[in-house]
Amino acid sequence: MSTTDVPASEPSPQETEISLVVIVQDEEENIVPFITEVHDHMTLPHQICIVFDSDDDTTLRKKDEVLRISPNAVFVKNELGKGVINAFKTGFGVAKAPYVVPIMADLSDTPETINLMYAKIREGYDLVVGSRYCPGGKKIGGPFLKYLLSYLANMSLHWLTGIPTHDMTNAFIMHRKEILDQIHIRSTGGFEITMEIIAKSIILGAKVTEVPTINRERVGGKSKFKILKWMVKYLYWYFYILGFSVIHRITAHYLEDTRKQ
């Protein structure tokens, strides 16, 4: 892992309240509008960790422009091995703030939602999901089949397990870093890592909630989401979550029956 730019004016760990982890792959078209949007809507001291896989990533062509707009950005090369999972691990590793938010550079996520997430974190929650499917949330654009599969999977998990979010597949989440750092990540595909992290955070005792967010289909560049390739990985974590939820309910019943009142 190496940093290609650490600006002198980057906030210190004490000043930085939120670390944004931005995984990029050839986002030359979107990165400057994205950084501008973050700059316009983020009201809290933050660090932006832009993680890329290779030195020929077209995103790097806009590095100087990005740093002019947002001196608190740092470009970090993923040296753990190419791919989404290792990019997440790299970003989580360099994040300095007590709260960490993965956010897409393709303009699909709305940075103003981060302020709502932070308000919930300050109420005592450990993980706050930006939810497309809770009241007030919305998904705009994209293939209908992708939306339908995502909606059905997320809503059924919510109904069957009682987990307090309607959206377990959206990576746009505010994490309390002290809990995130305890999680052993086993995912090997891509964005199913989100389901694993939410599940394991709950197992570790994290207090979870959600806020509505609007998710927009990317307006430029090519999507890196590989639904068919990652489907089996998503199904694994779907049934993992169902399994631990059943065990948790059974265990909770026996603990309640065993403890002195």
Half-sphere exposure of 8 (CA within 13 A, CB side): 0
Look up residue 68 and give its two tokens. Answer: 């002019």
Tell me: the pLDDT tens digits for 199-258? 999 989 999 999 999 999 866 555 555 566 668 899 999 999 998 887 876 666 555 554
Confidence of residue 9 (pLDDT cuts 50, 70, 90): very low
Tell me: the pLDDT tens digits for 35-82? 999 999 998 999 999 999 999 999 999 999 999 999 999 999 999 999
Backbone phi, psi, residue 2, to 5°? -140, 150
Q: Quote the pLDDT of residue 256.
A: 59
Report the alpha-carbon distance of residue 217 to residue 223 in Å, rounded: 9
Report the alpha-carbon distance of residue 39 to residue 33 in Å, rounded: 10
Report the alpha-carbon distance of residue 116 to residue 73 in Å, rounded: 22
Q: E strands, the chain, where?
A: 2-5, 18-23, 46-52, 73-77, 99-102, 127-131, 138-140, 173-176, 208-212, 214-216
133 contacts: CB under 8 Å, gap ≥ 6: 139, 151, 154, 155, 166, 167
14 contacts: CB under 8 Å, gap ≥ 6: none
Sign of CA dihedral 237, 241, 244, 246: negative
Report the alpha-carbon distance of residue 191 to residue 234 in Å, rounded: 8
Answering whether pTM is above 0.75, one says yes
Q: Quote the pLDDT of residue 250.
A: 66
> Number of folded domains in the chain?
1
207 contacts: CB under 8 Å, gap ≥ 6: 124, 125, 126, 127
Indicate which CATH number applies to the domain containing 176.
3.90.550.10
Q: Of 75, 79, 82, 38, nearest to 60 (Cα)?
A: 75
Tell me: the pLDDT tens digits for 81-130? 999 999 999 999 999 999 999 999 999 999 999 999 999 999 999 999 99
Q: Quote the pLDDT of residue 214.
A: 97
The domain in which residue 22 lies consists of 2-258
